Structure 1
């Protein structure tokens, strides 16, 4: 199918891609972009050509995402499913996530952009498909125009931005947002998004470092008053230890933040003296789960985690050394040989090196042993025993749906073959977060679980992807095969029809559909912005001088 010519005001300045490229066939256009990239004779030209091909490929991927949602919302009974807790949007996002190996949240965000291009910004989508703009630019346009409600105003904004967006490629993020807001302001002044709405995006995110150090970054957006109170609280806790505490002030502030997370009201001093009044820490009511081999708890590798100066020669010693001596490691600075221990795993957060685990956590840990069930027969009840449930959680570590990283201790224990037809045994149990549990149950996903914990997933459209237990790499002993499910039970389950309509009667219901939630959010933000937008509009209409 060819792209239609875009009707834009003559003064807008039609670009070359509007008069030539958009009238060609979609696939031919993409093939031409790839051919240009492959045929480029210099590296810089190849970078630009491949960037355009990448943009065009991303546009096609998002268009395919919109197609998936279109299929769901146009199917029979889709209106009723909009009130499901796991609605049409969730079902589409789950298929998209599985196809790309990303999380449900990432897929849902991509679907927001894709649906916005499909329904509100078709001309911008054409520019994107031609490879002329990046995903970052398209994401900004979709977000900054989201409050526009009038269809005619939306069409004009779409056309105006599409005619100029290629020229914005070299602008900063702030300048791009200003350029988008200019056209929103011209056709729907009350849809301009303002900085004060940033407070509505308050959040706290925790990102575990991927370097295996066992540390994490905390990214937060707080109200200024709360942030000031938090800052002062950390200072007060850091200052309450005795003068022999070996940590720097920044290390104590970081540890104080951890103490708050554990429910403590003070920071325990690390001086090591028995008579230190600040050495006691209040009992924590917070529980975190760490999976580790028993040997890792007693790892005796030397670690130096506190203090200002790292191990090595002092500044005075360095001044007396030659360059070769300064760069050569000294025997006294070399760490002792690491013990033959494996890292631990903090559920939902990643690995913890064994020396860090032993030095910081082992002394305060409550140890529970996990036993491999071996060839144990099925248990007689629907709910697995505590021992079996913890084996499954430690084997899986996270939700087992493709692309999902919800920690196992926040997941349901799901029967792959539904109970009572399916037995309660390790080879028929896995971890699923509540959202993916609903999607699996009510949206006709099929799965086959193997005795080693591997699960083969088949989507409603017949696409297959496999997921392996999280312990496969870190704790392979937990992935030894367990007693298999009776083949006759497996065969009957494979032949059974999917009873999705009957299950729909039990699906948790939404109070409002997703579309109603979006409309209400737009109305709320427009109302919050109304006083500022009205003042700006009145000022703009005044005669000069302004």
Structure 2
């Protein structure tokens, strides 16, 4: 089996950085052209003529770059926001440390923030995170940042947006159509979990439908059934709520453990007070990250511990993997029977990364855990002597 050399990976790293620098040069040239045109047209009269010439700036840039006017406008808006308000991010972009995709996500976050000190704090922190994490992880981090540094404003926006919930139906070609529901995230998560669970129950031997087809059929049955309005949602939904937020002393959010969504904590506590759900409270050891002090003697953890582990970790613990923990295997950090079946020695791995670990391509790290990654997987370039910390 061919092995990947360290030099090959270094070349790939260099290529990615060159590409980011090229993006920065391109976007910078767009900004320079726009700024020059804005200055040139400042003295154009009458005002209508000035407005028309300025409206053609994005069209001219688009013709030169092969982009649409909308794409040019989006690039200019994101770049302008970052250049003006986040100099550290802009410098990192110019150095090729981060690419334009990350810059665009950071710019969108800047537009959400209302306080100058919040934007300055973002500029100080975000580059260090962005360089070592995937785009999906960065977007989750940015969402959490907004919800934590401007929690009150974020809750207000969420409450306002909740009023826009709706369902729409669009009929399409080939006798098919689309059902679109714009709903609070915690309700969508419950629906998703119930669909996934029910569609994967024991299936009749003559049922040749795929799991996704069964999910679609279940949704139709639930919507058309007479008990739809009164039936309970059978689903385990894990959220993390800071103690001070849960106590109501400050505004804040309940965040899903897989990092995909968050809602104002009051929305979740309202469900609890209605008595329509059974709730766990899980307390973890801040040092060992253990959940239960009891040590299980068998190889396989009991269901209650599996649930707690998936609630704790949220996603597959391989770096950058965002597969929800509920779809992962529970794996021993130190192999059983040497390693105990205990929470601080267990964590979720998706089937793909679990198989890679089984073949010696991945190994559990002994380094201090990353935030929200209590168990970290290290990637080995060469199982003999070359180690790469992912």
Using the size of structure 2 for normalisation, the TM-score is 0.41
Work out which of the two has the higher radius of gyration on C-alpha atoms and give 1 or 2: 1
Using the size of structure 1 for normalisation, the TM-score is 0.31
Query: Which has the higher relative contact order, 1 or 2, with Cα contacts under 8 A spaced 6 or more apart?
Result: 1
